A = this chain, B = another copy of it.
């Protein structure tokens, strides 16, 4: 896409721009921060180790490094060739590899390599976005809020205004995707425009024994020995416009691609990451953290832990079932272990206490001035009150919500009916998932979900949720005496044709269908609507309160601050370095192939392909050997500020070249979502030398090495 609208590229203006500038004039903590790319110019990166012009990293006026970065579903990717080749994590491509796998062609187990473009495999459900432009739209969004609005009206008014802006922007910029992102809750909003690619294909994946070596045991841990990378490719219509999958599509030509640096990065080297970090909660109150620590995280650990157990047991019996469940197991296991790390970190680092201490100082500041006291005096207490009431209902609400999130049949049934109801409304009035611009993707996701349905597991998960409700003296709602077995016997939602027909039906049609799950979902619908409204009310209330909190913090606070991560493009920089997780323990920032071999037990998840074992024995490292370690380097550790969504982010050296692919954090850094700390916040990337050694030497994909210009 050509950048027609340079007016978009005004500086990233916050609502209280003047105050924020004052903040930024104070010295920054060296490495903290997931900076909006508009901030790059202000960070004095050349002094930190950047060896290119900051304006070549991000520049509103011309092609720059960020044009080589993309979002791949919830992950980040980098274009590494002029013809749309993307490198991202194995775990980001996992769903695509799983989709393409059968018990005969088990690419999860054996890896995959397309020898040419024709062999590349379409990955339904995958999209790629490239950030094209952004501009502040806070004033326009917040003008939807008027005096005397209820909290519910506030949320709905803001949502509608955001959708209007998005729709208008997409109409003005054909073929793009527009998203209005909330930066500071209830306060600042930015419109992002993306090139939006819907034909994404699988190019190369190592076997899971490499790409997921160490599995859930090593996940969130350092030292790490995982080759967590894969290659995909973006395709567009022959005329360059974005299009759904077609055999006639051609590789996308990015405006810029990231040059691979085959010599990697070593200890003490400057590195920076670009990517789409998902969510952080650094501006949330201590009461929110207490809610997380005491309510939500323990619930997640318990529920997911049990569901993982059930799915693993089912998968161990039957590889075909495993191939349906592995991606979901992996995703839940990832969240479960992260939640455990966060629980541990919250307790150990006493984060609630320190946030309370800051809030006490803020409260004193507020109370010092009668006018401030009148305006903000009850602010913190009011926010605390919202979380207190959330906490009381949280477990029952979560059990109820998980009926339709964890149970896949009810999820399908509910989506079908909810879609039908919503689609009777005007486009802008609908829930986002059912708007014209999103409905195809929503249906596609349901189809994928149906494909991976394993009835026995689905039943077991539902029964477990019923038990959880029973323990709290709650009867599963709206069942009308129907048993779990009867629900499944009486439903055709597992049939692709029936599902397709349902998505074409009106609510009235659906009400007339004799389908047990569908009818249960229809009976539940009003309960879920009530919950949705109550959640929007809460969102409205918190939005208003947090907007005020940011205002008064700006009046008070002595350090700079950056908005919480919100899945928009950010930059973070730092250094390759080890850390001391505890007294008398030091972890250095590079692992080696010898470490892979030492961890290899032959029992999953510590299996290594025989070829790699043999090549290690014969020291067949080629040009990918680390000079000092005299071994193939596997993974590197650095102190940049990342969170989920940075999976697949390029790890770049000072010249903006690719030295690694980010894929995880150390266990202590699971707490990044709540607080960053220079002592233990460490992120993990696969070393580019391991990527190249595996791709080139082990699996012989020389054409990819060549395509990357090496």
Copies of the chain in the assembly? 2
Q: Does A588 contact B (CB under 8 A)?
A: yes
A598 at the interface (CB under 8 A from B): yes
Q: Is the CB of B584 within 8 A of A595?
A: yes
In the bound complex, CA of A225 to CA of B582 (Å)? 11
Is A688 interfacial (CB-CB < 8 Å)? no
Contact check: which of B223, B347, B348, B594 meets A585 at CB < 8 Å? B223
Query: Using a CB-CB cutoff of 8 Å, which residues 339-356 of chain A contact chain B?
Result: 347-348
Q: Which residues of B contact A583 (CB under 8 A)?
A: 223, 225, 591-592, 594-595, 598-599
Dominant secondary structure of chain A at its interface with chain B? mixed
Bound complex: CA A69 to CA B329 (Å): 57
Interface string of A579-606 (1 = CB under 8 A from B): 0001111111111101100110100000
Size category, A interface:
20 to 34
The CA-CA distance from A621 to B594 in the complex, in Å, is 43
Q: Which of A584, A594, A598 has the most CB of B within 10 A?
A: A584
- Closest chain B CB from A653 CB (angstroms): 21
Query: For the complex, what is the distance from the CA of A582 to the CA of B223, rounded to whole Å?
Result: 8
Q: What residue of chain B has the Cβ atom nearest to residue A222's Cβ?
A: B584
State which residues 554-596 of A face B: CB under 8 Å.
Answer: 578, 582-592, 594-595
Task: Output the nearest chain B residue to A347 by Cβ-Cβ distance.
Answer: B601
* Chain A 346-378 per-residue mask, 1 if CB under 8 angstroms from chain B, else 0: 011000000000000000000000000000000
| Known contacts A347-B601, A348-B601; A587 and B585 CB within 8 A of each other | yes
Q: Which residue of B lies closest to A597 (CB)?
A: B583
- Determine the residue in chain B with the shortest Cβ distance to A585: B587
Q: Is A587 within 8 A of B589, CB to CB?
A: no
Residues of B within 8 A of A222 (CB): 584
Cα-based distance from A588 to B584 in the complex (angstroms):
5
Q: What residue of chain B has the Cβ atom nearest to residue A586's Cβ?
A: B586
A599-B223 Cα distance, complex, nearest whole Å: 21
* B587 engages A591 (CB within 8 Å): no
Please encode chain A, from 297 to 324, with 1 for each CB lying within 8 Å of some chain B CB and 0 for all others: 0000000000000000000000000000
The 4 closest A-B pairs by CB, nearest first: A583-B595, A223-B584, A584-B591, A586-B586
- What are 9 of the A-B contact pairs (CB < 8 Å)? A222-B584, A223-B582, A223-B583, A223-B584, A578-B584, A582-B595, A583-B595, A584-B587, A584-B592
Known A223-B584, A584-B591; further 8 A-B contacts with Cβ < 8 A: A583-B591, A583-B592, A583-B594, A583-B595, A583-B599, A584-B589, A584-B590, A585-B586
